[in-house]
Amino acid sequence: MNSDVFKILVTGSRGMLGSDIMNCPSASGGGVKIVGSDIGEFDILDPAAAAGFIDRVKPDAIIHCAAFTNVDAAESDPETAFKVNAMAVRDLASICAGRSIRLALVSTDYVFDGEKKSPYGEYDQPAPINAYGMSKYYAERYAAQLCRHSFIVRTSWLFGSNGPNFVRSILKKAAEAGELSVVDDQIGSPTYTKDLARFLIELVKTEKYGIYHATNEGFCSWHGFAAEILKACGLSGVKLYAVPSEAFERPADRPKNSRLLKTALYYSGFEKFRTWQEALIDYLSETGVS
């Protein structure tokens, strides 16, 4: 630590997760100072600019949220996805290693192929089935191999106030069309960025390095998630149809099973996340989306 204040640099600070880290109550005071950076401060593809910014800020830890997050676009441009998601992490991990800065990489359930019949543990072998998942898998490897002080945090199905997300899309489509078809054969955990933000800040203050799965509690299908959104917004009259993934042709395949076990999080003594249903209610009331 440089001083009495534990300084955290957040990349992608204007994105959906990054902005909730910036706004997290535990980010102000309590001996923590958060500094944000996005493409305007430095491009993560420019390691000299990254190193220069980091040397000016002198963080104790970096929470790396900046990424190429358009899963379908990554299929037609896997090279850019690989550069932004993996090569930039290679350089960032080297920068952190050389300066004893802790690095938390935000990763994804999409590193798994979804074929397992039960939830994935931190110990399960990744086998991505799309270009985005592959780029994040290489990011994980670079972070783990090059930076001894690294945390790899896999999360899933994020929703938050500062970004396009599933909750908003469902409510928009419900208002426009009055009926919806949503896939019911992909299962995972919706996760509120506000809850993940709080965990990431707590995590980087520790030296409990390694792989974590971090999501809100409970599992559902996208169809189940949509049903809960409509119910919570008093829109139970909207017709909701369950359809298989094949009904929606998309450039990138998605894993059918995105369920993640949170063994490392529990074992390390971190507070359990609330259920995704509780988080959804909070999100809807805080953002006034409904």
Ligand X SMILES: NC(=O)c1ccc[n+]([C@@H]2O[C@H](COP(=O)([O-])OP(=O)(O)OC[C@H]3O[C@@H](n4cnc5c(N)ncnc54)[C@H](OP(=O)(O)O)[C@@H]3O)[C@@H](O)[C@H]2O)c1
Catalytic sites, residue numbers: 132
Q: How far is the CB of 19 from ligand X (least distance, A)?
A: 8
CA 107 and chain centroid, separation: 6
Q: How far is the CB of 84 from ligand X (least distance, A)?
A: 5
Q: How far is the CB of 35 from ligand X (least distance, A)?
A: 14
In the chain, count of helices (H) and strands (E)?
11, 12
CB within 8 Å of 205: residues ≥ 6 apart: 6, 32, 61
| Contact residues: ligand X, CB under 6 A | 12, 14-18, 38-39, 43-45, 65-67, 69, 84, 106, 108, 155-158, 163
Complex with ligand X: residue 16 or 187, whichever CB lies closer = 16
Token output for 104: 């938390």
CB within 8 Å of 189: residues ≥ 6 apart: 156, 157, 215, 216, 217, 218, 219, 220, 258, 259, 260, 276
For 97-133, letters b (16+ CB in 10 Å) and e give: beeebbbbbbbbbbbbbbebeebbebeeebebbbbbb
Complex with ligand X: residue 214 or 238, whichever CB lies closer = 214
Q: How far is the CB of 176 from ligand X (least distance, A)?
A: 23
Complex with ligand X: residue 40 or 269, whichever CB lies closer = 40
Complex with ligand X: residue 119 or 238, whichever CB lies closer = 119
Token output for 149: 């002080």
CA 101 and chain centroid, separation: 21
Question: Which residue's beta carbon is nearest to the bound ligand X?
Answer: 15
Q: How far is the CB of 130 from ligand X (least distance, A)?
A: 12
Complex with ligand X: residue 66 or 174, whichever CB lies closer = 66
